[in-house]
């Protein structure tokens, strides 16, 4: 029964999408999946798209990379926003913006004024790790691997917000996307340490499964994101 119910639900979703296509780009439902780090600029993007297409019903699903990849494999969202599209899954991905990862610490850190700090000199620090399944964590681990670096002490926390708070109260330091710390850096609540090899420059992509039939609304959102990316990189 469960299999039949799921099959019917999938058919109904396809039928609804095709109806939306007939109606054109100014109506229908747009389902977007994003990794939690994209949350820091997604609201801005969706708000301006929504102003141009007020009748489109947007459904935003925020999760970490691992969960998003599972949903992408099931072809659930219309489009996803993430960094580094996975290999091993048929995906059409277009990059639209840089995603620099920085080493962030609390103000007053003894190395605040130092230049080109070597990773090795941070061995005694406590590093705050994102939860496993996070792409930010993966990028940080890969970076440590390249320099054969192992911090003496680590803490694991679930999500960017709690990691930032931990850094702010001096619990440790971490590598985070610049998008997540814009406000704290400009308010002087966090600082960036100038570590050799950083920033890690990754890119943001808008992606969907290859062969997915995008509705006119989804196509128009994709184009909108690509244009916004171009506009931001010119600023
Ligand atoms: P995350 O993903 O929020 O799961 O760390 C960020 C990314 O894809 O770079």
Nearest CA to ligand 1 atom 8: 83
Q: How far apart are alpha carbons 109 and 120 in whole angstroms?
A: 16
More confident residue, 28 or 64: 64
* % of the chain exceeding 90 in pLDDT: 79
135 lines ligand 1 (CB under 6 A): yes
Nearest alpha-carbon partner for 207 in 91, 33, 40: 91
Q: How far apart are alpha carbons 68 and 61 in whole angstroms?
A: 9
Q: What is the pLDDT of residue 21?
A: 64
39 lines ligand 1 (CB under 6 A): no
User: What is the number of the ligand 1 atom nearest to the C-alpha of 202?
Assistant: 9
Output the CA torsion 53→57→63→65 (10° steps): -60
DSSP string, 120-185: GGGTTSEEEEEPTT-HHHHHHHHHHHHTT---SEEEEESSHHHHHHHHHTTS-BEEEEGGGSHHHH
Backbone angles phi, psi at 74, to 5 degrees: -85, 0
Position 215 confidence tier, pLDDT thresholds 50, 70, 90: confident
Q: Which of 8-22, 81-95, 122-136, 202-216 has the lowest mean pLDDT?
A: 8-22
Mutating to test ligand 1, I would choose from 83, 86, 205 the residue with most ligand atoms within 8 A of its C-beta, which is 83
Q: What is the pLDDT of residue 101?
A: 97
- Distance from chain centroid for Cα 141: 17
Position 171 confidence tier, pLDDT thresholds 50, 70, 90: very high
Mean pLDDT of 142-167: 96
Backbone angles phi, psi at 214, to 5 degrees: -80, 140
163 lines ligand 1 (CB under 6 A): no
Tell me, in angstroms, the distance from the centre of ligand 1 to residue 95's CA. 15
Q: What is the pLDDT of residue 216?
A: 87
Position 128 confidence tier, pLDDT thresholds 50, 70, 90: very high
Q: How far apart are alpha carbons 52 and 63 in whole angstroms?
A: 26
User: What is the number of the ligand 1 atom nearest to the C-alpha of 66?
Assistant: 4
> How does pLDDT run across 12-28, given as a tens digit for each residue?
887 876 776 666 666 68
Question: Does domain 2-98+203-234 bear CATH number 3.40.190.10?
Answer: yes
Beta strands in 64-139 (DSSP E): 79-83, 91-105, 126-130
82 lines ligand 1 (CB under 6 A): yes
Mean pLDDT of 103-130: 97
Which residues of the chain does CATH 3.40.190.10 include? 2-98+203-234, 99-202
64 lines ligand 1 (CB under 6 A): yes
215 lines ligand 1 (CB under 6 A): no
Class for domain 99-202, per CATH?
alpha beta
């Amino acid at each position: 029964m469960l299999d039949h119910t799921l099959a019917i639900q999938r058919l109904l979703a396809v039928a609804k999408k095709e109806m939306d296509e007939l109606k054109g780009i100014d109506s229908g439902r747009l389902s977007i999946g994003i990794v939690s780090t994209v949350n820091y600029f997604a609201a801005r993007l969706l708000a301006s798209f929504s102003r141009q297409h007020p009748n489109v019903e947007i459904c935003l699903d925020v999760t970490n990379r691992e969960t998003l990849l599972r949903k992408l494999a099931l072809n659930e969202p219309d489009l996803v926003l993430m960094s580094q599209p996975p290999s091993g899954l048929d995906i059409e991905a277009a990059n639209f913006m840089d995603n620099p990862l920085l080493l962030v610490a609390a103000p007053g850190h003894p190395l605040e004024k130092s230049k080109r700090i070597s990773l090795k000199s941070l061995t005694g620090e406590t590093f705050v790790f994102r939860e496993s399944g996070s792409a930010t964590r993966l990028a940080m681990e890969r970076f440590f691997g390249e320099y054969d670096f192992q911090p003496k002490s680590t803490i694991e926390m679930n999500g960017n917000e709690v990691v930032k708070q931990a850094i702010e109260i001096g619990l440790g330091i971490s590598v985070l996307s610049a998008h997540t710390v814009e406000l704290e850096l400009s308010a002087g609540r966090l600082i960036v340490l100038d570590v050799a090899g950083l920033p890690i420059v990754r890119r943001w992509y808008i992606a969907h499964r290859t062969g997915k039939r995008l509705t006119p609304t989804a196509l128009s959102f994709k184009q909108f994101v690509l244009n916004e990316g171009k506009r931001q990189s010119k600023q």
